[in-house]
Structure 1
Amino acid sequence: MKRIISLSVFLLIGLALRGQTEKEINQQVQFWTSVNSTWRLSEHWGAMGDFHVRRNDFLKDPNFYFLRLGGVYWFNDKISLAGGGARLWLAQPALDGGWNYAIENRIYQQLLWRNVNGRAKFLQRIRNEQRWHEVLNPDGSVNRIRFSNRVRFLFSAAIRVFEDEKKPRLVLSDEILFHFGKEIVYNTFDQNRLFVGINHKMGKGWSFDAGYMMVFQQKYSGFRYDMNHTIRLFFYFSPDLRKKKGKELPHYPVGDIE
């Protein structure tokens, strides 16, 4: 399965690159941190929310701030459905040397499946997003609102490499994103996010993951790309308030990634 997913990712990236005579790749280093929470309130119902901060040139410059809220319905301990709204503030250089922020509003729906197989915990997610994002003029005023629909496919595995359950797990994940809309002409392939790191429990519903994420994103022009070398540190708080809890499964919140 992992080989098939890897080959698919490289094939899709290759197709996105093919046919472009001149490619401009912008290499940059980023830092991305967040607090993610999923509250299971009953056997079937719960709530979720997360807040993200991503910065460019490691910590020097702002990239975006992101807030998401939603509700969750669990069919069982393995399969859940979620939906809600979100807002993103995307930093753009201002004429005075400061920063303007383009606002993006979202509505999203997602289906998530989790399972445990031997020493590995697996998570797969399909998320669909409707996005309304501001396109700014150089002076920071709003030129227009661009609409797009984005579909995201995530596969993640947390693998126990130590016999001691209290020690960190190795995490491997990949997410590929496509978007569609009137102005999406040259970059139906939006981006790919490959992550390698560790996940570690801190107790009382808290855990974190830390590691390296490579974000390869195609811009609207079709021939410009961002290659973001991202240091990622995510915190998770996932309380289960049911009186009778199910089998332990991957403790990622259902809304773990922007």
Structure 2
Amino acid sequence: MTLNRKYFWFILLLWLFYPWHFTHAQQKEVTNEFAVWKGFFLNTRIAARNSIFTDLHHISGSFAVARAGLTQHLPHGVDVTAGYARLWLTVPGSGSDALDRNEHRPWMQVAVLGKIGSNINLGTRIRYDLRFRQRVEAAELLPKYDLTHRVRLQETLRLNFPGFKTEWMLPYLVLSNEILLNFGENVSYNTFDQNRLSLMLGLEHNFLRLQTGYMHRFVQSASVPNRYTNNHNLTVWLFYTLDIRKKTKE
């Protein structure tokens, strides 16, 4: 496949995934919110084909996530990961920004990373979330949990800038889009859950990367029909890779 064709497929996927039909169809109730998304990612290599994945996220007044998983590294740039995530969410209808609602989320994913030329990477990720979210009635938390299923498809394009590389860092640009879809008997209004489109500038130094930029999260309400939120997020994400494999003596 030529370089131009690969670009074409990436742009086509972004166009198809972005929810134009949700914003231009019938009349919707849309609100806007602004926040900072802080994230930390840790990959710990423990064996030639295995690593431990950990990430932490926080958006004030929206959610906090602590996630971990075990990754199996397969040939041809394919990674398979399974793990568990713990979430703290706001309570719908309460009007409070407190993260009082609980969610337990076993998850698994397949990620494929390929190269397009010497300075461009194209990544595809499919993730499945098994979501146990604390039940809410009349803005009150209940001790019971509702089960829903969610599938997520993400396409990510990374462009390196070797011409601006210094002794201590390599700058790069990341364009990403992810669509999230809900399934299950407890899903009433939001089979389409949300879409995440982001553009970030990154700096890489050996095992450390810093990414910052803008993410637009278009989210549909799970409890009110035809209600959506445009979330405008400033992202500040830090990535750290740690290798604790035992070194063989020569």
Superposition TM-score, scaled by structure 1 size: 0.82
Using the alignment, how far apart are the partners of 1:97 and 1:72 within structure 2? 37
**Equivalent residue number for residue 161 of structure 2:** 161
- The count of corresponding residues between Structure 1 and Structure 2 is 234
**Equivalent residue number for residue 115 of structure 2:** 116
Counterpart of 1:171 (choices 174, 178, 181) is: 174
Shift of the 186–97 alpha-carbon distance from structure 1 to 2, 3 Å rule, reads closer
Alignment of 1:21-32 (within 5 A): 22-32=27-37
% identical equivalent positions: 25
* 2:164 alignment partner, SS class: coil
* 2:17 alignment partner, SS class: helix
Counterpart of 1:41 (choices 42, 46, 59) is: 46
Using the alignment, how far apart are the partners of 1:77 and 1:7 within structure 2? 27
**Equivalent residue number for residue 6 of structure 2:** none
Counterpart of 1:184 (choices 182, 187, 197) is: 187
* 2:47 alignment partner, SS class: coil
User: Runs of 5+ in structure 1 lacking a partner?
Assistant: 56-61, 245-258
**Equivalent residue number for residue 249 of structure 1:** none
Q: What do you get for the CA RMSD once the two structures are aligned?
A: 2.4
Alignment of 1:108-257 (within 5 A): 108-117=107-116, 118-137=118-137, 140-142=140-142, 144-165=144-165, 166-203=169-206, 205-220=207-222, 221-242=224-245
* 2:148 alignment partner, SS class: strand
Using the alignment, how far apart are the partners of 1:243 and 1:9 within structure 2? 43
Of 179-188 and 30-39, deviating more is 179-188
- Does residue 7 of the first structure (1) align with residue 15 of the second (2)? yes
How far residue 190 of structure 1 moved from its aligned partner, in angstroms, is 0.7
Shift of the 3–122 alpha-carbon distance from structure 1 to 2, 3 Å rule, reads closer
Superposition TM-score, scaled by structure 2 size: 0.84
How far residue 185 of structure 1 moved from its aligned partner, in angstroms, is 2.8
Shift of the 243–116 alpha-carbon distance from structure 1 to 2, 3 Å rule, reads farther
Using the alignment, how far apart are the partners of 1:95 and 1:66 within structure 2? 21
**Equivalent residue number for residue 68 of structure 1:** 67
